[in-house]
């Protein structure tokens, strides 16, 4: 399940990951899931017939997805792997790092409740926002897998375990 905001809905990373899956001989073994089935940017992967399902919702906040939507999405379209990139809109709406981390924690709990073996991939952040306070840019850096903020590092350590997905499969790979 590709899960996120506009970065998931309207950019081409889903198509690029699909190409990586096809190159690894996995396209016939993987199905993207989600209530959305769209390609608004007309992305053109090298692989024909790529799966366009996702849960990318432009402008949506991680906090709202965690509190109002994710449980039902996972009931309707169960997922073994969730690739998510969220928090950008939360930052621009003035949400605190701790609020965003709390929503990540809640989402991990919802994913694990839906399927205890769910593999979770947190996408690399693509932002460094000069107008934002240093704590926000630290959060964005940590979302890319380089933890420097104790709450996010704690979240990673708490939920890290034997059920880990390939660490390089995703945006920017």
Over residues 3-54, the pLDDT tens digits come to 999 888 888 888 998 999 999 999 899 999 999 999 998 988 898 788 999 9
What is the rounded distance in angstroms from the CA atom of residue 76 to the CA atom of residue 88?
Answer: 26
- Beta partners for residue 54, in sequence order: 36
Q: What is the DSSP letter of 169?
A: -
pLDDT tens digits for range 80-117:
999 988 888 888 888 888 888 899 889 999 999 999 99
Where do the domains of the chain lie?
2-159
If one looks up domain 2-159 in CATH, what number appears? 3.40.50.1110
Nearest to 10 by CA among 59, 50, 47, 49: 59
| Per-chain mean pLDDT for the chain | 78
DSSP 8-state secondary structure symbol assigned to residue 125: P
Q: How far apart are CA 86 and CA 108, in angstroms?
A: 13
| pTM confidence score | 0.74
């Amino acid at each position: 399940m590709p899960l996120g905001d506009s970065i998931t809905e309207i950019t081409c990373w889903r198509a690029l990951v699909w190409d990586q899956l096809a190159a690894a001989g996995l396209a016939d073994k993987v199905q993207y899931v989600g209530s959305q089935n769209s390609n608004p940017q007309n992305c053109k992967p090298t692989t024909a017939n790529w799966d366009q399902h996702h849960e990318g919702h432009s402008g949506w906040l991680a906090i709202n997805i965690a509190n109002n939507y994710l449980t039902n999405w996972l009931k309707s379209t169960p997922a073994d792997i969730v690739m998510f990139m969220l928090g950008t809109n939360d930052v621009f709406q003035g949400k605190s790092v701790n609020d965003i981390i709390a929503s990540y924690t809640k989402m991990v709990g919802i994913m694990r409740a839906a399927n205890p073996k769910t593999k979770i991939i947190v996408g690399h952040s693509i932002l460094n926002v000069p107008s934002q306070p240093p704590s926000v840019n630290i959060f964005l850096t940590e979302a890319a897998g380089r933890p420097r903020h104790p709450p996010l590092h704690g979240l990673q350590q708490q939920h890290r375990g034997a059920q880990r997905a390939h660490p390089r499969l995703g945006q920017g790979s």
